Structure 1
């Protein structure tokens, strides 16, 4: 008999909790159902059928339901209500704060004008980086011309198999033609891609140090090119070497140029933020530079394909120049000629 009051009090507590949960739901259920209806229609892609007042009310309804979820958790309401509110808040969050477009739409916008607009936005840094790369090539040439031993310091060991000062015309020519079936060329191509990818990433990532490391990397990388140009020029093979390198080089060197310019763009925004704060200036520059780097990655992948296949399959200088110059013309037209109205106005 002594346990009866305990049982009765437990039943009353359950009834009170149920009444509290029902009252909580009745007071707020209209907002929940309205938000759920809006979210369901937006998820199904029927945006045109949603009234303007519902779209305007979406953020307010989201905050109201999120507040209801917070209260429900604090007051330990029934599990079904908590699960319903939690799922509804998550669905609404993606519509209010999540990405507005899917991957396909983003890629279409990115390739359809976003990338080219970002590249044009760093045109000053591109000119600076281009001047530095030209200067680096000249420095490499002049150093080995004055002292051939510099060649071994500027050119990595993987390049100095038979491509060394004093090599004969026939030996150097053999490195440019007739290598389609030699597996060593694929290894060499892989090394070039890996090396240039590392240079591009470092040139971008070190841009925060006022862009100075980015410029130094560009000089170092192009000094190697200048040293090799000097080597082939000594045996009257500079024109053929230019064709050999242009197949993938117009794409790969262009990618390195953009990566260096992107790093320099971040460094310049930190050093000279203008009327904005340093963090705001760096954030804006970082978003633009990140877009450029996404394009650099695509360019490096394409350069690897050209390097691994086209350069080996095309075994004559004229054909190589045709491929290389065509790629250069396409990149210039894409980056500096594509000007979609909606991108410019963005």
Structure 2
């Protein structure tokens, strides 16, 4: 059967299904009947017309039916919240009890380190807590109110600020588990050492009991929640490093589900701790026995929720087995070409990023080490450093500070990364072949122009040049040059014309990429790097703390750029192909209306 005959035979049925999908009130029996029939047509088209628009059209049509059938109504129920805290959370705590003990041990040992170090070095508390905080505390002690720091702010503002900050710390403890648990351990050690130094400072002033009965009003719950969040990060790191009999991705998926449940369980604790610190701790004159009751009650809540309930569930065998989700469905999507929504393209992008991460790291990690060496040399020899300058005033990704060497390095690194990504889905693995420069000459030149605009002319000029070139055009050029080895000028014009003509259709993708960058940048600027900076500063890598901060922030920014690049690349390609399929499907639908007017249509 020719394609024209196939369309002529089934087009009325397809039109009926389109009309039925456009209605609010649908006949479910007829919808089911048409869905089965059109699914059969799709299978036939995939077999006999795999590269034709009719296959793309039918794939899009059946996807719409599937989405309409499987739309689920979500509604929050208070009973689910009770089940979560009474059943699911204790079950996950018991399964991951080793991570909790390790987190507690790391924190407790860190507190001892803070105490012992403070006892050995009188200035240790100033190194850890900062001169400003120590001076303020000493001034409060001299004024006869050592706990005055808890009375400075308005109650509501203090409550919101403390709660948000504590939740942020917990989230960092969780997300740093992706570094194999090392980042989580550093965060736990940082907080533990600070606590030990803080308590010893008051001990030397003869105010240990006063400080203990004050800060542990809220600290009992707050410190417990930080330890629990640290356990969530260790669960994540354990799943990444020790997959056992599972694939590494399966192990990470299972661990992330368990860790996320544990992390969500800390949110009420941080709210309680914030409320106590803002509304109760400030009343330092209250009788000691009331403080003891509050501390004891807080401790009982922690022991009941995080020790008694998990042990009780385990004793009564109420803990269900873990069901491991199979991620193979994502792998099947990698080889198919069809119209996808923005969310589907994002899921596919994550799957592609996962599959190429190992080979991409062969380029990313060596370039990161080289960048660290170059940056270390710049900071050691830089003459323009001043205490009056903030870290943001010294971006080495700009010409006036980085010079030509940083530009050449960045250009070479991004070029190598893009060429490596261009080998995805092919048998080619060596990006340093003799034809590489000639094959990707246009892409390398275009990348040089875009990067030069950012580096030499400034951020907004770079954005303007990137918008004019369009990121989807750059990504598509890399793909086509890798696929065809040589690419004609006519094909370049055709790709660019398509990107410009349908530029507005790429806007949702661009917004999605901007949001991803904004979230990552928020994590970076809101204190994620501060834990590493503080930890490194204690070891005096550079003579000045601000140099440590510059080094860590530039390394983190470069790392983020490297690992956002594959997401930008794959998202651009998937969106380009999706829009191309959609345009062809719309064109085919238009041909349906004129079918029969010309004998040459779709032949």
Q: What TM-score, normalized to structure 1? A: 0.69
Between the two proteins, the alignment pairs up a number of residues equal to 293
Which of 256, 262, 265 pairs up with 1:286?
256
Could you list the per-position Cα deviations for residues 278-311 of structure 1 after superposition, in whole angstroms to 9, with x for gaps in the alignment? 1111111111001111122332222212211122
Partner residue in 1 for 2:178: 208
Q: Cα–Cα, structure 1 residues 17 and 250, in superposed 2: closer, same or farther, change >3 Å? A: same
Q: What TM-score, normalized to structure 2? A: 0.42
Partner residue in 1 for 2:119: 145
Q: Once the 2 structures are TM-superposed, how far is the Cα of residue 110 of structure 1 from its aligned partner? A: 1.7
Q: Distance in 1 between matches of 2:296 and 2:245?
A: 42
Which of 39, 42, 52 pairs up with 1:67?
39
Q: Distance in 1 between matches of 2:91 and 2:219?
A: 23
Q: Once the 2 structures are TM-superposed, how far is the Cα of residue 115 of structure 1 from its aligned partner? A: 1.8
Q: How does 1:165-314 map to 2 (within 5 A)?
A: 171=143, 174-176=145-147, 180=151, 182-183=152-153, 193=163, 195-313=165-283
Q: How does 1:49-198 map to 2 (within 5 A)?
A: 64=36, 67=39, 74=54, 89-95=66-72, 102-104=75-77, 106-156=80-130, 159-164=133-138, 171=143, 174-176=145-147, 180=151, 182-183=152-153, 193=163, 195-198=165-168
Q: Distance in 1 between matches of 2:112 and 2:14?
A: 81
Q: Distance in 1 between matches of 2:276 and 2:247?
A: 43
Question: Please, which moves more after superposition, 62-71 or 210-219?
Answer: 62-71
Partner residue in 2 for 1:336: 307
Establish whether residue 36 from structure 1 lines up as the match of residue 62 from structure 2: no
Q: Is the 8 A contact 1:204 1:260 kept in 2?
A: yes
Q: Distance in 1 between matches of 2:30 and 2:120?
A: 75
Q: Distance in 1 between matches of 2:247 and 2:116?
A: 43
Q: Distance in 1 between matches of 2:246 and 2:150?
A: 55
Q: Once the 2 structures are TM-superposed, how far is the Cα of residue 34 of structure 1 from its aligned partner? A: 11
Q: CA RMSD in A?
A: 4.2
Secondary structure at the counterpart of residue 206 of structure 2: coil
Partner residue in 2 for 1:54: none
Q: Distance in 1 between matches of 2:249 and 2:10?
A: 52
- Could you list the runs of 5+ residues in structure 1 that have no partner in the other structure? 1-15, 40-59
Q: Is the 8 A contact 1:62 1:92 kept in 2?
A: no
Higher Rg of the two aligned structures: 1
Q: Once the 2 structures are TM-superposed, how far is the Cα of residue 63 of structure 1 from its aligned partner? A: 6.4
Q: Cα–Cα, structure 1 residues 93 and 37, in superposed 2: closer, same or farther, change >3 Å? A: same
- Could you list the runs of 5+ residues in structure 2 that have no partner in the other structure? 1-6, 44-52, 322-603
Q: Cα–Cα, structure 1 residues 277 and 177, in superposed 2: closer, same or farther, change >3 Å? A: same
Q: Once the 2 structures are TM-superposed, how far is the Cα of residue 198 of structure 1 from its aligned partner? A: 3.6
Q: Is the 8 A contact 2:170 2:229 kept in 1?
A: yes
